[in-house]
Structure 1
Amino acid sequence: MKQKLVIKVSMSKEKSRSKAMTIVVGVHGVDSAALAGPEKTQIEVTGDGIDSVSLVTLLRSKVGFAELVSVGPVEEKKKEEDKKKTEEDSKPPPAPVVWSYGYAAGPPHHYVYQTSSAAGGHYYNDNDPSCAIM
């Protein structure tokens, strides 16, 4: 079962806040941790199977004064999630993106069969008005 801990720690400087957060996040079972409360002196920890007594003891030995304020289950936000899901379900799905591969086909080349030439075969018709390069 997920639980939420609120721990009050004496953190006056940014260095002690950073050290306390590093310690809290390194404990087994912690999913997230955030600073809260007035003057950012509390740490809200959420996770599964956290040993709150050992966490507070560890903070006391490494940072300074630490006090366990509250322990309780994580509050689920089902109403907001359900509302978001129904809004997303009512929207039509986005149009698929179609990527074309290769180049668009240009005008066909006109070949004229030459019978009187010594080489014989096909040659490109230079007098074709559809050629944009010439």
Structure 2
Amino acid sequence: MVQQKIVMKGHLSSEKLRTKALKIAAVAKGVSKVSIDAEKEQLEVIGDGVDSMRLTMSLRKKLGHATILSVEEVKGKTDEKKPTTYPITWTSSYIQYPQHPPHHHIVHDQYPQETNCSIM
């Protein structure tokens, strides 16, 4: 499939609406990147095989207004910097204490059967 870039305009005036738009676009099938230009109230979606009409209808349903400004093919690599990734190393905070064999203690009763306990 060919990657495409879809630019949409909608009501993105508040942080709540921008968050809602990002969530809707992020879960759409084929989407690999979503960004918002808050000043222009535009949503930019990049992905493979994204259904722009279905995405627009979803945004209209939740935001009240959304229109497609442009749909274009993304050619070649973008000039964006790739973030540096570092492997995550995990160390356990669980300390393993040495295992000792069980000890059996034999207790001898000094007064076998001589006490008259009323409880027993």
Give the aligned partner of residue 20 of structure 1. Answer: 21
- Asked which structure has the greater CA Rg, the reply is 1
TM-score, structure 2 normalization: 0.61
Matches within 5 A, 1:58-69: 58-69=58-69
Matches within 5 A, 1:32-111: 32-36=33-37, 39-77=39-77
TM-score, structure 1 normalization: 0.55
Which AA in structure 2 matches 1:14? E
How far apart are the structure 2 equivalents of 1:75 and 1:10?
29
**Where does the alignment leave 5 or more consecutive residues of structure 2 unmatched?**
81-120
Which AA in structure 1 matches 2:3? K
How far apart are the structure 2 equivalents of 1:14 and 1:33?
15
RMSD: 1.9
Which AA in structure 2 matches 1:59? L
Helix, strand or coil at the partner of 2:70: strand
How far apart are the structure 1 equivalents of 2:15 and 2:64?
14
After TM superposition, the runs of 4+ consecutive aligned structure 1 residues lying more than 4 A away are none
Helix, strand or coil at the partner of 1:54: helix
Q: Which has the higher helix share?
A: 1
Give the aligned partner of residue 8 of structure 1. Answer: 9
Give the aligned partner of residue 88 of structure 2. Answer: none
